[in-house]
Structure 1
Amino acid sequence: MVRTGLVDHVLQPPSSQAYKRSRTNRLEGKIALISGGTTGMGAAIAKRFQAEGATMIATGANPETLEKAKKEPWASKSTSFFMFTEMKKNIPSAQFGGKIRALRQRLKLTLDCTARAAGISKPFLSQIERGLAMPSIASLKGIADALGVAVQYFVDAPSEQKFVCRGEELSFFEFADTANSFARLTHKSGGRRLEAVLVRFPPYQSGPADMPTSADEEFLYVTSGEISLTLEGKTFVLKTGDSAHYQSTLPQGWLNNQSTEALAIWVGTPNLL
């Protein structure tokens, strides 16, 4: 109650309709991404945001509840979108820390130097390396830049497909200008700079085979049989257990003039084929 002269004025709160009008469309032009927005509190928040004009994107890990949410009256409008997201286990902070510390030490960088380059404090970096703190995306990006790698280097989990070649899965291939056959022993993904190939030498090759390669240097290890390796016009006989290491720029050739097949592991860097 407010008294002014002879007239009493009663101050009343705005009506519920006026209150609703003042709040309608206040989120118009905004996009709201709501994780878990298909059930419970998440769905309630999504419904409220959509009612206030936001373009609403709700995610859910359960396909059934996601389809059910799509049928809700509030979700039928053109400004509502739904996305299925597969749940994955959290990557433990120790995984980040171990990879960061190992790479930093391999590069012979100090904590202080790396932290400055990454734009974070030295104590925080130390906590990350010991698995006591989880870096933000921005912090992890700064650390990756400081160490000269992509963020994916720390995020990727080890997998057999990336690191292991199974013997029963080896597949040999051939070229038209050589009798040898080849099978890759390494994966070429991930920017790795070393390639290893298993080479089959059929018996009684007629002459040395010159293998063009993009490598800078090569290594040859004979696992069975006997191979004649020619470098700069001089021939070396390599038997089982023998090896040779040489520059790829040297004139070279190899052959098997024995009656049995020979096998050798051929290694080169940065790439052989």
Structure 2
Amino acid sequence: MEKDQLSRLIGYRLKKLRHNRGWSLDTLASHSGVSKPMLGQIERGESNPTVSTLWKVAKSLNVSFSAFLEEQQPSVKVIRYTEIESITDHNGSFQVFPLFSKEINKPFELYTVQLSKACKHLAEAHPSGVEEYLLVQKGEVTIELSEEVYKLEKGDGIHFLADQQHAYVNHNKTEDCILTILIFYPTKHYQYE
């Protein structure tokens, strides 16, 4: 999917999700902390939002991150990594490649994440009960959870409750880090679109 197609899809889904709540742009801006002009640009497909911006909006609407990326789902879906358009933060040093978006009755989403050399990405807390499962595919990553720090190498994994602020850190100054992250949304606490 091309960047402009992705921007239009995100804008269309955001507008639909906002209308489903009966919220104005002002209401969404006050709940998410994202400015009304920025939300308007996103809805019109004029702005390609960052990962952090989408997480803030998703959290305020009580939907998954990938709710902005959902399209009609066929019975078989092949994902070509080379065709996935990433969503970025930190001037492109933190990239999220959505592999499988959360669908109705499937309370998870799966991503590949690339952290460039010496990148630290601070992630907002997810809604209560949301869990992350992470596997290091390449390099090393440090996961910071509250006061705890966990250093993981290639092949290592970690599971944690993601309803707290957390950070992904690549301390390596010469090698990027690649992660696979599964986010699980408990059905009894989470709203599906």
TM score, norm. by length of structure 1: 0.37
1:202 to 113, 116, 129: 116
Structure 1 residue 240 displacement after superposition: 0.3
Task: Specify which structure has the higher proportion of strand.
Answer: 2
CA contact (8 A) 2:125 2:166 kept: no
CA contact (8 A) 1:221 1:264 kept: yes
Structure-2 residue corresponding to 1:239:
153
CA contact (8 A) 1:179 1:201 kept: yes
Alignment of 1:219-258 (within 5 A): 219-258=133-172
Change (3 A) 1:159 1:228: same
Task: Mark the runs of 5 or more structure 1 residues left unpaired by the alignment.
Answer: 1-156
1:185 to 92, 99, 105: 99
CA contact (8 A) 1:233 1:251 kept: no
Whole-angstrom distance in 1 between the partners of 2:121 and 2:98: 22
Give the letter for the 1:183 counterpart: F
TM score, norm. by length of structure 2: 0.50
1:191-215 deviation per Cα after TM superposition (whole angstroms, max 9, x unaligned): 421101110000012x452344347
Structure-2 residue corresponding to 1:261:
176
Structure-1 residue corresponding to 2:27:
none
Change (3 A) 1:188 1:250: closer
Structure 1 residue 172 displacement after superposition: 0.9
Moved more, 196-205 or 167-176: 167-176
Structure 1 residue 251 displacement after superposition: 3.9
Structure-1 residue corresponding to 2:84:
170
CA RMSD, aligned part only?
2.7
Change (3 A) 1:188 1:208: closer
CA contact (8 A) 2:125 2:165 kept: no
Alignment of 1:72-87 (within 5 A): none
- The runs of 4+ residues in structure 1 deviating greater than 6 Å are none
Task: Mark the runs of 5 or more structure 2 residues left unpaired by the alignment.
Answer: 1-72, 187-193
SS in structure 1 opposite 2:122? coil
Structure-2 residue corresponding to 1:51:
none
Higher relative contact order structure (alpha carbons within 8 Å, sequence separation ≥ 6) = 2
- Number of corresponding residues: 112
